[in-house]
Copies of this chain bind each other. A is one copy, B any other.
Amino acid sequence: MIIDCHGHYTTAPKALENWRERQVAGIKDPSQAPKASDLSIGDDELRETIELNQLKLMRERGSDLTIFSPRASFMAHHVGDFQVSSTWAAICNELCFRVSQLYPDHFIGAAMLPQSPGVDPATCIPEIRRCVEEYGFVAVNLNPDPSGGHWREPPLTDRHWYPVYETLVEYDIPAMVHVSTSCNACFHTTGAHYLNADTTAFMQLLTDDLFRNFPTLRFVIPHGGGAVPYHWGRFRGLAQMLKKPEPRQALLGNVFFDTCVYHQPGIDLLGTVIPVDNILFASEMIGAVRGIDPDTGHYFDDTKRYVDASPRFSDADRHKIFEDNARRAYPRLDAALKARGH
């Protein structure tokens, strides 16, 4: 079985975007604010957006199951207040749940959180509970920067975030560290902000002892870990200067990297420096990079090809990357698969 741990519902029906535009307009002019019930999307519409897009490409590329969460760039936690984020997260998560119900063999949910700048992250707990208990979701996406590129919340190692961690630990679900749209003109959303957040989060973890307090807490750092594997020597050297243990010992019991790296040499590097037990297959398809690489004739984000072709991996390694590691990082996914006889 090939599990893609990083997919977003980037192809949701246009009605969702229209509803969101009305919601944003309603922040300034409450007379324009829509009710959640104003959004009506039928199952056929969901099927069409999935079958012509994600599911089609999954079949073509040979992946089986995607851990599916709301569109990351649309989370836009910086917009409005907690109530705005809460309503928006509930709607987006429910759509992913419905997709997972329509295609239970191919999609299982991960939750967007109703974060809002300056608001206690404990306010996200009810949505986590709903998504796990009612929707069967197996993970969450945690945004370390709900300001959208201004980085005004404390680091992920701060007690500010502990209420969320306690809930993740209670359910034994991991958090993918994933920012949303940048509203800082310096940072291109998918070309800078996403990668910077990955690097930033890893370095925050390196400077602290968070996992002493939460030994079973797990993070997935997406986009191949940002700059981290390429600069693995730098991070090892910085850990040494900070009198911390080697990152391999201190962090890799709790931190995973996905394979959203869109060329062969990048995947080869990932496989060279990061232990295979810490690598999770992912493509973020359909996501940031949607075109075909003219050099190869294949989609940039068809990361399965790179994992298949990499001389760094044995067949046993690939089995871990494609399936076993995901079952370990996402125990509720493993349980759901076993309940279905997989």
Contact = CB atoms under 8 A, between A and B. Distances in A.
A262 B233 contact: yes
A80 to B, nearest CB: 22
A155 B186 contact: yes
Contact of A226 (B206, B227, B238, B291): B227
Contact of A144 (B149, B186, B200, B240): B186
B151 A241 contact: no
Contacts of A268: 269
Interface residues of A, number: 56
A206 B191 contact: yes
A293 B233 contact: yes
Given A192-B200, A203-B192, A265-B273, A230 B238 contact: no
Interface in A177-212: 184-188, 190-192, 195-196, 199-200, 203-204, 206-207
A290 interface: yes
Given A186-B153, A227-B199, A241-B290, A234 B261 contact: yes
Interface in A145-164: 145, 149-151, 153-155
Interface of A: 144-145, 149-151, 153-155, 184-188, 190-192, 195-196, 199-200, 203-204, 206-207, 223-224, 226-227, 229-238, 240-241, 261-263, 265-266, 268-269, 272-273, 288-291, 293, 300-301
